Structures are given as C-alpha cells and as structure tokens.
Amino acid sequence: MAGPSEYQVALLIAIGTVGMLLLAIAIILFMVFYQKKMIQEQLKRRQLELDYQQKMMEAALESQENERRKVAGDLHDSIGGMLSAIRVGLTTIAKQMADPQSMEQPKQMLDDTINSVRSISRDLMPSTLEKFGLVHAVKELCERFQATSFLPVIFHEQGELQGLNQRKELMIFRVAQELVSNAVKHSQATTIHVTIRGTDKLEMIVEDDGVGFDVEAERSLTQSGKGLGLFNIENRVRLLSAKLEFDDQREKGSKITMTMQL
C-alpha cells in the first residue's frame, strides 16, 4: 500500500502548523486578557480592604475622641467643679481661723491642682476649637506649649480658612498637637514656628531649628510597636485625604508640611 502523497503531507503540515500557531496566539491573548482581569480584581480587592481599614480607623479615632470628650467633660465639670467648691470652702475656713496664713500653702496647692485639671481637660478636648475654630485653637495650643516649655512657639496665620467641618478641624488640631508636642519634647530646638495657610487649600507647617529626625527610623519604630506618634499623625492625615511631607533637604531641624484641599 502506497504512503501518503506529497499533497496530503503538505496539507497535514499546513493544518498542524495553523493549529499550533492559533493555539500559541490564543495562549498569548488569554494570558494578556486574563492577567489584566486578575489584576483588576486584585486592585478592587485591595481597594475594598483599604476602605474597610479606613472605616475601622475612622471608627477607632471617633471612639477615642468621644472618650476624650467624656473624660474632659467629667474632669472639667465634676472634678473641676468640686475642687472649686473646696477652694471656696477653704477660703471661708481661712477667714474664720486665727491664723489665716497657715491655709495659704494648701490653697496654693489646690490652685495648682485646679489649673492642672483645666489643662488636662483642655488638652483632651479644647473648648476653643468648638467655640472659635481651628486657627484659634492652634494659636492657643502654641501659647500653652510656650508657657509650659518656656520655648518660643510662634504661630503664623495666613489667609482665611473656610469649609472645614468640626470633625476635620478636630483631626487637624490633633495632628498639630502631636507635631508641636514632638518638636517640644524631642527636637532640642530654640524656636518652633507653626504656620496655617488657607485659601483654596490648607497648609499647616511645623518647623523647628533643632536636631531633626529620621522619618524612616521613626516609621520602623512604629512598626515595632515602640512609637505611635507618627503612626497616629499619618492615620489622621490619610483620613483627611491630605498629604504629609517631611523636608529631608534641611541641614538643621525639621519641617513638616500637611497639605489638604479645602
């Protein structure tokens, strides 16, 4: 029996080749489209996870703020009120005593305690923020830090801030509070400048002439669970959809800028 003719072999080669080529092209196309689809799915999943994390973070911060508000209220109204009543009582008793001077020292101690309670209460929930807004609250914050640390904390205000709700104002205030507190505690600076600029976007700058710091080292400290300051600041900045920049080109000190669209 004769074998296949040349024509049959040619046809077989042609069909086989076309089949293989189509298969190869199909594999490549499948890979391209499937990969694209898988990556889109992955991005969607990541976005969902990110949204969930953001919501969790928001809830945690909210409950923290609520707790602070409650403690601040209790301190101010309950303990503060009672201490003031005791102060009035002491004054009355001192008037009836033969030696009213002997009551001066307890009165002084009580005054210091009342001031401390007020200060803690203000730190926990600044009433100025709710009454007069962010700029006044940050200005007052600078004054308080200056008074307690004896370090010039100079506040600058440029432009006019508008369009911020109370929740956002509180978050920005917390960022300012943490940044100034860090500068006072760790920078060894001689002067600290806090600037708030605002027209169509808010820019808050905390600048010092101290020893500066390594952002990455701070971040790794946070990851190892040792420092939460930067972590909290970055979380709040993320929730505000703002941007935090660390000026690493400075020779001396540090400059941290938070920018947010209004």
Partner 1 sequence: MTTLFLALLIVRNESIYKMTLEVFIRIAHLQIVISFLVVLMAVLHFKRRSTESKLMGLSFIFGPIAYLSFGILNLKGKNVNIPQSIETMLYFLVLTMVYNFTLGGRYKKLFLAAAIFFPTFAVSNLLFGQQNDNNTYSQALRSIILIAYCILYCYRLLVDLPVQHLQRVPMFWFNSAILIFNAGTLFLFLFTSYLVEVLNNDLLIYWTFHNILSIVQYSVIMVGLWQDLRNIKSRSSSPSVP
Among 1, 6, 99, 160, binds partner 1 (CB under 8 A): 6
Beta strand 254-261 with 243-246 is: antiparallel
| Block residue for tokens 């949204």 | 51
The distance of closest approach from Cβ of residue 250 to partner 1 in the complex, given in angstroms and rounded to an integer, is 14
Q: Does 13 help bind partner 1 (rule: CB under 8 A)?
A: yes
| CA distance linking residue 165 with residue 139, whole number of Å | 18
Q: Which stretch binds partner 1 (CB under 8 A): 8-16, 58-66, 122-130, 139-147?
A: 8-16
Q: CB–CB of 155/138 below 8 Å? A: yes
Beta-ladder partners of 255: 207
- Footprint on residues 33-92 left by partner 1 (CB under 8 A): 34-36, 38-39, 42
Q: Does 217 bind partner 1 (CB under 8 A)?
A: no
Task: Please give the full DSSP string across 185-212, using - where no structure is assigned.
Answer: HHS--S-EEEEEEESSEEEEEEEE-S--
Long-range (24+ apart) CB contacts under 8 A made by 87-96 are 87/111, 87/114
Which of 46, 248, 252, 261 is the binder for partner 1 (CB under 8 A)? 248
Minimum distance from CB of 7 to partner 1 (Å)? 8
For partner 1, which is the closer residue by CB, 47 or 63? 47
SS3 258: strand
Residues of the shown chain interacting with partner 1 in the complex, contacts defined by CB under 8 A: 3, 6, 9-14, 16-18, 20-21, 23-25, 27-28, 31-32, 34-36, 38-39, 42, 216, 248
